[in-house]
A and B are shown apart, each in its own frame.
Chain A
Amino acid sequence: MKLIQCIVRPGKLDDLVNALRQFTTGITAREIRTWGTEGGWHGTYRGVEYDTLMPRVLLDIVTDDTWVDDIIRIVAETGRTGESGDGSIHVMPVDESYHVRTGFMDS
């Protein structure tokens, strides 16, 4: 079992969820703010300029090891625009997981 964390552009969220639907049983999305290689977000308010973190979406996907490569490929293809700031994908091991309703381990 693996946890795949993807930081993606907010505008790509719908496309990604549609493309990933057949490979996963669940996706959790969070609105986050990041500061990556592309830098932050440049704002101006009443004539004063300021930099702040960029809005992004973070997807958590828990999946069987067999699906990891497919998911990474789909996220990388669907989420790409080619510009700096497309995001990143991180894969980490999951020791155990349970359903809250049944209390049993999800195989």
Chain B
Amino acid sequence: MIRTRIAALLLVAFVFGVLAVPIFAQGPAPDPAGIATGDKGAVVDGGGNSFVVSEPSDKAAPDYAKKKKDYDDFKAQADKEPLAMKLADTVGHVRIGTNFSWTLLTGYLVLFMQAGFALLTCGLIRKKNAGHLMMLNFAAYVFAFLAYWAVGFAFQFGAVAVNAAPTNLGGTPTLNHFLLGNSQWGLLGGRGFFMSGAGYDAGSLCLTLFEVVFMETAGYIIVGAICERITFWAFLLCELFVGALLYPIFGGWVWGGGWMSQLGSTMGLGHGYVDFAGSTVVHAVGGFCAMALAVILGARLGKYGPDGKPRAFPAHNLVFVVSGTFILLFGWMGFNPGSTLGASDLRIAVVAVNTNLAAVAGSASALLLWYLMFKKPDITMACNGMLAGLVAITAPCAFVNPTSSVIIGACAGVIVCLGVIFNERVIKVDDPCGAISVHGYCGWFGAVCVGIFADGTYGAGWNGVGASTYLGTAGQGVTGLLYGDMQQFKVQLGGATLCIVYAFVATFVVFSIVNKIKSMRVSREAELEGLDVPEFGQLCYPEDSYETSES
């Protein structure tokens, strides 16, 4: 008891120690009203070429004379037509407004995935633990959100303006400081703690809304693997850990302008590590965190017979499972297309179709493979197959064509089936909902697929690589192995593998220690009875007659 209190005090002291400096540091002024966000500087054409020509500063550059002439021409034109410049300010503001609408709306769709996860996981477990599981899903959202508000967002995106400024949202110039590392080897962001100061900005908070629901996705992935046996207090610790540290740190490396995103410019590895919407950043991190926790907790009582053979704990409500899966598919229409952070990027249509194609291909291959292997198709595996396809297409969705999406989805459907069998029968890690297989294994696979199937039609200048030409072609984007870029494949394979090692080892070390101090698992009696009453005093499905007494 005393040890836990000391640990809590140390945690609080650490958090405030880290925060004190950057909160009060000076930087570009934030724009909480959103009035100054989006002017003529935000006006670009379809190819991303700016309307405003800026004055070249490097006089030694070989094309200085041409750039200077372009600037002088623009200046002369602008002086002649002040009304056009005024109009350009309005156009820029409207463009940013369109992108805000898109980003917020898709963020709301991703938020709705919480309901899908709750239904899916609840349907897949036994009736006696259903109330406990709903509480886990609920608390995951609440507590991980607060952890992300306090430090998570700052760790992940506190330096996003340094390398990966989201120009579609006005660039969020206030988020510009690495707490650890420099602009090439950034390790930890350092602005926007408590979403105040530098974080109290319209563009920054638009990004926050979209990114916090992504973090929540990683946060509730773990529920699927640890449910039916974890205590509530231990689960809250897991959520705080994911929301404040595990997810934001890796996310910052890839999306916050951190060192993995810069591997293209620093090491010449393609466009750096590319994960469009989070196959690894969100799903593999969640999946392998879940795996570490499932290993620490051990299998549910009775899952393995005395002979070591797995037993079936059938899903208690298939209606929940299928409804939940379709809600997740619907939410994924925000997850992937929304990751452009703007509707002015018309690739969103390709992304949306690719996402759906991979989903149906994944469920078809999982369903048919199960049919062949066990003579009966299994609806829960078909649902897992759909999610597997979605997880796998999440990283490559913007960079591949529809045919590749079908191939990626179909492969993911096979991986998820083999993964479930492998977990259950070979390594004997008990995963009630298949979260490790769906999010962990297929997440890794999805990120590797970017390095294989990316066809170079999209992503020119991604992570600051090849803005003018790439592989000798102007406008060539992120390119995979099949289209001639070996370096991109290498960085994808290495990066995805690093992700799963990072997520598993970090979680395993931290929670092995927690488990040593106090067991994270419920008592044997509680587990046999079902966790609803021992943990919360409430049944998910109480009898009506207990509730309707008139006196």
Chain A residues with a Cβ under 8 A of chain B: 43-50
Contacts and interface: CB of A to CB of B under 8 A. Distances in A.
A50 B378 contact: no
A47 B216 CA distance: 31
Contacts of A47: 370, 373-374, 378, 381, 420-421
7 contacts: A43-B312, A45-B314, A45-B315, A46-B312, A47-B378, A47-B381, A48-B310
Contacts of A45: 312-315, 378, 380
B67 to A, nearest CB: 63
B376 interface: yes
A46 B370 CA distance: 8
A50 B370 CA distance: 17
A46 B311 contact: no
A33 B370 CA distance: 29
Contacts of B378: 44-47
A47 B370 CA distance: 8
Nearest to A44: B376
Interface in B260-319: 310-315
Specify which of A43, A45, A46, A48 lies most central, judged by the most chain B CB atoms within 10 Å of its CB. Answer: A46
Contacts of A49: 312
Given A45-B380, A47-B381, A48-B310, 9 more contacts: A44-B312, A46-B312, A46-B378, A46-B381, A46-B420, A46-B424, A46-B434, A50-B312, A50-B314
B49 to A, nearest CB: 53
Contacts of B374: 44, 47
A50 B315 CA distance: 13
A46 B374 CA distance: 9
Nearest to B384: A46
A45 B376 CA distance: 10
Closest 8 A-B residue pairs measured CB to CB? A45-B312, A48-B312, A50-B312, A45-B314, A47-B374, A48-B310, A44-B376, A46-B378
Contacts of B380: 45-46
A102 to B, nearest CB: 21
A17 to B, nearest CB: 23
Interface string B406-427: 0000000000000011001000
B26 to A, nearest CB: 57
Contacts of B381: 46-47
A48 B420 CA distance: 11
B376 A48 contact: no
Contacts of B434: 46
A48 B309 CA distance: 9
Interface in B350-390: 370, 373-374, 376, 378, 380-381
A25 B452 CA distance: 74
Contacts of B421: 47
Contacts of A48: 310-312, 424
Contacts of B311: 48, 50
Contacts of B312: 43-46, 48-50
Interface in B313-338: 313-315
Contact of A43 (B310, B314, B370, B424): B314
B453 to A, nearest CB: 30
Nearest to B313: A45
A50 to B, nearest CB: 4
Contacts of A44: 312, 374, 376, 378
B124 to A, nearest CB: 9
Contacts of B313: 45
Nearest to B421: A47
B392 to A, nearest CB: 20
Contacts of B370: 47
A9 B341 CA distance: 58
Nearest to B309: A48
Nearest to A47: B374
A17 B424 CA distance: 46
A44 B374 CA distance: 9
B417 to A, nearest CB: 9
B305 to A, nearest CB: 11
